[in-house]
Amino acid sequence: MNPEFIYQGIGLVFGAILGSFVATLLVRWPQGRSVIAGRSRCDSCGRKLGPGDLVPLLSYAALHGRCRGCGNRIDRRHLAVELTAAMIGLVALLAHPLPLAAISVLLGLWLLLIAALDLQHQWLPDRLTLPLIPLGLVAAWAGYGPPLEERAIGAALGWTTLFLIALSYRRLRGREGMGGGDPKLVAALGAWLGVLQLPYLLLGSGLLGLASVLLMRMRGDTVTATTRLPLGTLLALTAWPIWLVVAGR
């Protein structure tokens, strides 16, 4: 068998395995439930899950998306996140050699959780965004991605820019137009992408936001000046492709 296919298959499998943990975080963390203590259980009936229930993607397919015990439907977020994580693992290994590919997988999964939490709960927890700043700078110090000085400036300028935009909007419009977690996320992304990529990050997330508004209008949804878009989601979705490009240079 072609070693390249084996390498890519490993990316798929490990992405899906890590995605299973990310999906559990997505479902349980906003509810205040532990994702570490104790054995995995059905979200509906609380039945302890065995090894046959926990194989990413395959268990969902074998059980037709339902709990083996109570028959209730398994939260489809598990399937969606595991599929997306598997693709992240595959794309990262296609784009980069090891160990850079492993760093790209870690960042991709981190941003996946950020994007999903902001999309569903309008929540960007500091415990997710802030650690990305030192991690990005450590990756730069180790020689992966843009230079350290560009990324340190990117973190500082990213936070400052978003903070000033949010402050100006509040002064002009008399209401909040941006969540408090958004400047921290841009600082974190600046620590990974570097200052030179910040314009592309903001432009890309803006274009994604415009596409989202157009899609909402096409579906017949009401869109007004106060309609809120998940900026953290848009930023996270834009940032990872940019990282794949700049880290591979």
Instruction: Give the separation between CA 6 and CA 202, rounded to whole angstroms.
Output: 37
Give the per-residue pLDDT at 181: 87
Give the per-residue pLDDT at 205: 94
Nearest alpha carbon to residue 92 among 78, 80, 109? 109
Q: Are 19 and 13 in contact (CB under 8 A)?
A: no
Give the per-residue pLDDT at 117: 96
Instruction: Give the separation between CA 120 and CA 5, rounded to whole angstroms.
Output: 35
Nearest alpha carbon to residue 101 among 8, 164, 204, 175? 8
| Alpha helices (H) in 29-99, listed in sequence order | 58-62, 76-95
Give the per-residue pLDDT at 84: 96
Give the per-residue pLDDT at 244: 97
Q: How far apart are the first and last CA of the chain?
A: 30
SS3 124: coil
Q: Are 107 and 88 in contact (CB under 8 A)?
A: no
Q: What are phi and psi of 175, to 5 degrees?
A: -150, 165
Give the per-residue pLDDT at 177: 62
pLDDT-flagged residues of the chain (< 50): none
Instruction: For residue 165, count CB atoms less than 10 angstroms from its CB and return exposed for 0-12, middle for 13-18, buried for 19 or more.
Output: middle
Give the per-residue pLDDT at 38: 60
Nearest alpha carbon to residue 109 among 90, 145, 78, 84? 84
